[in-house]
Amino acid sequence: MTIPFYKLQLAGNGFILVDTGAESAATLTSDRYPDAARSLCDKRFGVGATGAIFLSPDNTIRIFNAQGSASGEADDAFLCASRFAFDSGRITNRSIVFKTPRGEKIVEVLGAHEFRITTGSPFAILGGRVIECTTPGIVENIERDGVRTAYAAIHIHEDVVVAFPDGLGTLNYASFGALIQKAFPGKNVLPVIARCVTRETILVRANVKRESGCCASAGAALTAAICSGVCEKEAVILFEQTSSDSQSDAFISRDKDNSRRLAVSWDTEANEMYVMGTGGYLFEGKFDLTD
Contact 154, 123 (CB under 8 A): yes
Give the fold, CATH level 3, of 122-270.
Answer: Diaminopimelate Epimerase; Chain A, domain 1 (3.10.310)
pTM of the predicted structure, to 2 decimals: 0.93
- pLDDT score of 243: 44
User: What 3-state DSSP class applies to 252?
Assistant: helix
Distance separating alpha carbons of residues 89 and 102, to the nearest angstrom: 24
- pLDDT score of 291: 75
- pLDDT score of 42: 97
Per-residue pLDDT at 249 exceeds 70 = no
- pLDDT score of 166: 78
SS3 track for 174-185: HHHHHHHHHHCC
Residue spans of beta strands (DSSP E) within the chain: 2-10, 13-19, 51-55, 61-65, 95-100, 103-111, 114-120, 123-124, 139-144, 147-155, 159-165, 190-198, 201-206, 234-239, 261-267, 272-277, 280-288
- pLDDT score of 248: 56
Contact 71, 211 (CB under 8 A): yes
Taking only the tens place, the pLDDT of each residue in 130-188 is 999 889 999 998 887 677 899 999 999 999 999 998 765 678 889 899 999 999 999 99
Establish how many alpha carbons lie within 13 A of residue 168's alpha carbon, considering only the half-sphere containing its beta carbon: 20
- pLDDT score of 110: 96
Taking only the tens place, the pLDDT of each residue in 1-11 is 899 999 999 99
Do 2-119+279-288 and 122-270 agree at the fold level? yes
What ranges do the domains of the chain cover? 2-119+279-288, 122-270
Burial readout 240-270 (b: 16 or more C-beta within 10 A, e: otherwise): beeebebebeebbeeeeebbbbbbbbbeeee
Nearest-CA neighbor of 259 among 159, 124, 113, 118? Answer: 113
- pLDDT score of 253: 58
Average pLDDT over residues 123-136: 92
Encoded amino acid at 166, one letter = D
Per-residue pLDDT at 45 exceeds 90 = yes
Least reliable range by pLDDT among 27-41, 123-137, 173-187, 251-265: 251-265
Per-residue pLDDT at 282 exceeds 50 = yes
Establish how many alpha carbons lie within 13 A of residue 88's alpha carbon, considering only the half-sphere containing its beta carbon: 17
- pLDDT score of 247: 57
- pLDDT score of 25: 81
User: Which CATH superfamily groups domain 2-119+279-288?
Assistant: Diaminopimelate Epimerase; Chain A, domain 1 (3.10.310.10)
Taking only the tens place, the pLDDT of each residue in 51-97 is 999 999 999 999 999 999 999 889 999 999 999 999 999 988 899 99
Least reliable range by pLDDT among 168-182, 214-228, 262-276: 168-182
Average pLDDT over residues 243-270: 75
